[in-house]
Structure 1
Amino acid sequence: MTSLNVLIGICLLTLTCLAQASDLVKKPSQGSVQETMDRLESIVTSKGLTIFNRIDHQANAAGAGMEMSSAQVLIFGNPKMGTAIMKQDAGAGLDLPLRVLVYQDAEGQTWISYHDPAGLRDQHQLEGNPAVDKAAEAIGKLTDGALR
């Protein structure tokens, strides 16, 4: 019976990981990491959203005496929308504000990547919350704009 429990546990863990991975959105960019992130930051600012931080992983790695390819994260959001989500389930605060990663892979391709906010419904108790749909639509449009 114990091996059956272990097998069931492994299956459930695998399904959970697959569900989270399916929320990952990746879009190729023709620009460099810097150019793509600059465009994204400009668009986010022009829409009146709050930028909480921009993290340059490559610069931080260099500061630690290490090397890595270019990668930057933009942390941003709309506090009013985020609050509407967290009022329904404070646990959603683990995934808010929104984060977008722009990075260069080993082949030199630049990517924009983020977790689709619609996935918050499954991870938290957010059924019927219109702010989740708005956040999912907004991050899609913002990142599409950064690719132009």
Structure 2
Amino acid sequence: MAVAPALAGDTANGTIKMESAHDAATTLDRLEAIFKDKGITVFARVDHAAGAKKIGEDMAPTQLLLFGNPKLGTPLMKVNRETGFDLPMKALAWTDDAGKTWLAVTDPAALKSRYGLDDAAPVIEKMSGAVTAMGKKATSKE
């Protein structure tokens, strides 16, 4: 029986946050594979810990994935171009000071209120559900 990852919405900063059963790199590897399987474009991957190392700083594993589906994001940007500040969407995986790994993804619902996208509510709800489900799959033990 699979154990569901801990899920905690973090509405204060517009993310959906969940604990991962994997390290940060593996969590994003799994999420990236899920995205590719679903036809979601992965635009970039940033290793913040590697960047810190280049300047002589230590940082726990922390990686960022930029992803999206232009078929969904473009209509939102046509309503309000400033949505482009938050699109493509982002997923951040990191290891905290206690050794736990976390995944946080952009909560599309936050885009609705931030950019006045009330008319796009059905699309945004679909995006929120999909991002949450894919995050849960990437962070699970299975």
User: For residue 131 of structure 2, what is the aligned residue in structure 1?
Assistant: 139
Higher fraction of helix: 1
Cα shift at 1:95: 0.7
Task: Specify the structure having the higher radius of gyration (Cα).
Answer: 1
> In the TM superposition, what is the alpha-carbon distance from 1:20 to its structure 2 partner?
5.7
> How many residues of Structure 1 are paired with residues of Structure 2 in the alignment?
130
Q: State the alpha-carbon separation in 2 of the partners of residues 65 and 95 from structure 1.
A: 30
How far apart are the structure 2 equivalents of 1:60 and 1:78?
27
Instruction: Give the CA deviation at 1:131.
Output: 2.4
Mapped partners of 1:38, 1:22: distance in 2:
24
Q: How far apart are the structure 1 equivalents of 2:126 and 2:84?
A: 16
Residues 1:116 and 2:107 aligned together = yes
Answer yes or no: is 1:44 the counterpart of 2:35.
yes
Q: Shift of residue 114 of structure 1? A: 2.2
Amino acid at match of 2:133: K
In 1, the alpha carbon distance for the partners of 2:111 and 2:92 equals: 18
Structure 2 unaligned residues grouped into runs of 5+:
1-9
CA contact (8 A) 1:84 1:131 kept: no
Q: Deviations over 1:119-147 (max 9, x none)?
A: 11111120020322222122111111101
Q: What residue in structure 2 maps to residue 74 of structure 1?
A: 65
The CA distance in 2 between the partners of 1:63 and 1:86, in whole Å, is 35
TM-score, scaled to structure 1: 0.82
Query: For residue 21 of structure 2, what is the aligned residue in structure 1?
Result: 30
**Closer/same/farther in 2, CA of residues 32 and 46 from structure 1, 3 Å limit:** same
C-alpha distance in 2, partners of 1:95/1:23? 10
Question: 1:53 & 1:85 partners in 2: Cα distance?
Answer: 21
Q: Deviations over 1:88-143 (max 9, x none)?
A: 11111111111010000000000001231111111112002032222212211111
Identity %, equivalent residues = 38
User: What is the RMSD computed on CA atoms of the aligned residues?
Assistant: 1.5
Cα displacement (A) at 1:43: 0.5
Misfit runs of 4+, over 3 Å: none
Gaps of 5+ in 1: 1-18
How far apart, in 2, do the equivalents of 1:50 and 1:65 lie?
33
Residue 13 (structure 1) aligns with:
none
Q: What is the CA-CA distance between 1:22 and the residue it aligns to?
A: 5.6
